[in-house]
Structure 1
Amino acid sequence: MEASPLGSVDKALLALDTLAGLGPEGAPLAALAQAVGVSKPTLHRTLAALRHRGYAEQTADGAYRLGPSALALGSAYLAEENLPALLHPALAALSAEVDELVHLGVLAGREVVYLDKVEPQRAVRVWSAVGRRRPAATTALGRALLSTQDLDDAALERYAGAADADARGAGAGGAGAGGAGAGGPGAAGPGDGARRLREVLAEARRAGVAGETEENEPGIACVAVPVLRAGRAVAAVSITAPVERLRGAARAERVRALRELLPPLLPAGLVVPPSAP
């Protein structure tokens, strides 16, 4: 391996890497020095500098462990405003693999906001735009995100109600504008939308993938998976295609791409949840 251009910085980074793998118990100086491959006096000085900036801390029994500043760095790196740039290569690779439109979205209240998209080589029949908002309850992206939460009846009613209000606001547009006309969570009477949403989210958790068919645009379907950080959904990725390409074997192939091709492409710290056994 090529030597580091600045040895002291390299020692500090090696110490951080080692601390990151030790967990909350940490390790004593001697064990750390052996793992990093430096003398105890050298590592002691390095750890003192890391402690000064909060990247390492010492427990009551003298062991060293990772400090809170390291967590702040990770949180900043994976902040929502960074996600489009961090995930764009993965979206591009996914789109190239399936030759379909791929979206990245996050929850904003009761809606999904589209943060990024990658269009395929072939012509796309669906309108989409970065910054567009849609009700979370009727989109594959939103359902993927909501499926990671333990929503009570009141929360389900709020999400279903937002979809219903959007459909009513669209007037005669029906499924092409809001989703209620296609049997979405807001399609029926009071309480029915929430019950339907609960069923849809339960199925998404079981299958490890959420979907919708013609609930936002005629002839168009989507499948999506949530992207987790430390067990919490921070975003979702979807594949959008004409209905005929999201049925049967074609759908299974696109779901496979989401569940098998996407995870290795994600930045460190981001994962796709497993499907239920």
Structure 2
Amino acid sequence: MSGMSLQTVSKTIKVLEAFLQFDGGRASVSGIARELGWSRAAAHQYVSTLAEGGWLQQDEEREYRLSPRAAVFGRFAIEYSAIPPEVSRRMEPLVQLLNEPISFAVLNGNEAIIVERHEPKRPFAITQAAEPHLELRTSASGMVLLAFDAHVDRARFTDMGDTLAAVRASGYAQSHSEWMGDVVDVVAVPIMLGQECLGALSVIAPSGRLDIPLARDTLLRSRREIEAEMSGDA
């Protein structure tokens, strides 16, 4: 593939990703141009091409949004690609060991999104129907993704430089915050394949119930085992 073709593919992906930055996922051509720092003409060329291909739809206010075709593709990717099997098959044993919900989250624009969750069979459990979206700045999984995911625009998070440096140095993030109306403790670790951050593996529990040193050491050990298996070093 020529350099020009690669550049075209890269710019097309940037346009699709730009829609994740707008409230409601809707944006005008001018809004996309401002978000990407392009001319309006360049943004229009890519947006109109994606619309012709069925990946974007235009509404009556002449704003664009991702089409149902893009949504179907996204659900397919989450179901079949987002969860490395080496991660998925270790989540239930982690639930049994820590007796708390275990989640795997990936970067999704301005937030982290939980794409798989396993829960203990007891009265307190964060169900699959619970809110899957996590704040990047305040959640343990979000901080892990900010610290380790090379695709993050860290220029937007310069105020978190010291925090993210500490997460990278320690290999994990910890948060104590309100989520879904409850105050919770969370510990999260990145899952890396080479230099690529595949997502954040985390454990969550009501405030005061989680044995944080045990959770931290267990997740760090699981991370080492998962990464070794994926790289063929197990």
Normalization by structure 2: what TM-score?
0.56
Residue 206 in structure 1 maps to residue 158 in structure 2: no
Relative to structure 1, is the Cα distance of residues 153 and 112 closer, same or farther in structure 2, using a 3 angstrom cutoff? closer
Give the match for residue 222 of structure 2: 261
User: Any conservation in 1 of the 2:189–2:223 contact (CA below 8 Å)?
Assistant: no
Between 1:144-153 and 1:98-107, the stretch displaced more is 144-153
Alignment partner of 1:236 out of 188, 200, 203:
200
Residue type of the alignment partner of 2:135: P
Superposed CA deviations along residues 240-263 of structure 1, whole A, max 9, x for unmatched, are 0112023xxx21001011011343
Distance in 2 (CA, whole Å) between partners of 1:239 and 1:214 is 14
Look up the match of 2:212: 251
Instruction: Give the residue type in structure 1 aligned to 2:164.
Output: L
* 1:256 aligned counterpart, secondary structure: helix
Mark the runs of 5 or more structure 2 residues left unpaired by the alignment.
1-76
Query: Number of aligned pairs?
Result: 152
Distance 1:221 1:89 in 2: 24
Equivalent residue for 2:185? Answer: 221
* Structure 1 residue 235, shift from structure 2 partner: 0.9
CA contact (8 A) 1:114 1:129 kept: no
1:155 is aligned to 2:151: no
Q: What amino acid does structure 2 have at the position aligned with 1:221?
A: D
Shift of residue 124 of structure 1?
2.2
Please tell me the residue identity of whatever aligns with 1:155.
R
**Residue deviations 1:187-209, cap 9 Å, x none?**
xxxxxxx52x3232122112211
- The offset of 1:226, in angstroms, is 0.6
Q: Spell out, residue by residue over 1:206-247, the C-alpha distance to the aligned partner (whole angstroms, 9 max, x if none).
A: 22111110143532111100111121101110000112023x
Give the TM-score of the pair, scaled to structure 1: 0.48
The AA in structure 2 aligned to 1:208 is G
* C-alpha contact (below 8 Å) 2:191/2:223 kept by paired residues: no
Q: Secondary structure at the match of 1:137?
A: coil
* Aligned amino acid, residue 234 of structure 1: L
Aligned Cα RMSD in Å?
2.8
The 1:131–1:110 alpha-carbon spacing in structure 2 relative to 1, beyond 3 Å, is: same
Structure 1 residues 266, 228: closer, same or farther in 2, change over 3 A?
Answer: closer
**Which whole-Å deviations, capped at 9, do the CAs of 1:254-273 have from their partners, x for residues lacking one?**
101101134324683269xx
Give the equivalent residue in structure 1 for 2:83.
Answer: 84
Partner Cα separation in structure 2 for residue 95 and residue 212 of structure 1: 19
Q: Is the 8 A contact 2:106 2:114 kept in 1?
A: yes
Do the aligned partners of residues 129 and 105 (structure 1) sit closer, same or farther apart at CA in structure 2, a change above 3 Å counting?
Answer: farther
Q: Structure 1: which 5+ residue stretches go unaligned?
A: 1-78, 157-193, 272-277
More off after superposition, 144-153 vs 197-206? 144-153
